[in-house]
Amino acid sequence: MDLKEILRQKREDIVDRWFEAILSSYHEDARGPMRRTQAQFTNPVGFNFREGLEGLFDAVLQGMLPDTVTGFLDAIVRLRAVQDFSPSQSLSFIFELKKILRAAAGAELSGDPETADELVRLDGVIDDLALFAFDLHMECREKIYALKAQEARDMTFRLLQKAQLIAEHQE
């Protein structure tokens, strides 16, 4: 049996461990409510994390087609980009998958060079996923900064108007 088939059989356990890895970056009080992933409308963060990780896991095993991962990755990255995480903290969950896959493959890795080569190829796919996620993260942050800058310009303009230092533009 090849490595991808072994990992597919352990999918639920792998995704559970990956989900716990992403939750570990949050305060303990927030983790409990996030674990209720069935409640899409009362717990959109937990729901999006779980759904996104499941889709990303499947995409990694398939070789990560950008069209496939964009929706899943975007849902997670957007949530983490607006939170108080550095980019490395925000995206570290992607690299956790490498450790989780190695632990799941465990005994199958010992002594089989073909399986080890397959795992190295999966590592490359995960690295590509991280680079793609970084691009998405930076796009989100750029939008946030652009919105903040526009808001500051608008507020300054309104203050100058109130102080009658700028006349309203009339046509």
Q: What is the pLDDT of residue 163?
A: 83
Tokens 């700028």 correspond to: 166
DSSP codes of every residue in 86-146: -HHHHHHHHHHHHHHHHHHHHHHHTT-HHHHHHHHHHHHHHHHHHHHHHHHHHHHHHHHHH
Question: CB count, 10 Å around CB of 134?
Answer: 16
Cβ proximity of 69 and 77 under 8 Å = no
DSSP, collapsed to helix, strand or coil, labels residue 34 as helix
Q: Domain for residue 30, yes or no?
A: yes
CA nearest 85: which of 137, 139, 31? 137
Q: Domain for residue 168, yes or no?
A: no
The encoded tokens of residue 170 equal 């009339």
The pLDDT tens digits along the chain (171 residues) read 688 888 999 999 999 999 999 999 998 888 888 887 677 888 888 899 999 999 999 999 988 777 778 889 998 999 999 888 899 999 999 999 999 999 988 776 666 778 778 888 999 999 999 999 999 999 998 998 899 999 999 999 888 888 877 766 655
Q: What is the pLDDT of residue 161?
A: 84
Q: Domain for residue 74, yes or no?
A: yes
Q: Domain for residue 170, yes or no?
A: no
CA nearest 48: which of 23, 68, 67? 23
How many structural domains does the chain have? 1
Q: What is the pLDDT of residue 111?
A: 67
DSSP, collapsed to helix, strand or coil, labels residue 171 as coil
Q: What is the pLDDT of residue 166?
A: 73
Q: Domain for residue 171, yes or no?
A: no
CA nearest 132: which of 64, 63, 35, 30? 64
pTM to 2 decimals?
Answer: 0.80
Question: CB count, 10 Å around CB of 143?
Answer: 13
Q: What is the pLDDT of residue 170?
A: 52
CA nearest 50: which of 23, 85, 78, 89? 23
Q: What is the pLDDT of residue 35?
A: 84
Residues 77, 73: Cα–Cα separation, whole Å: 6
Q: Domain for residue 169, yes or no?
A: no
The range of the structural domain enclosing residue 77 comes to 3-162
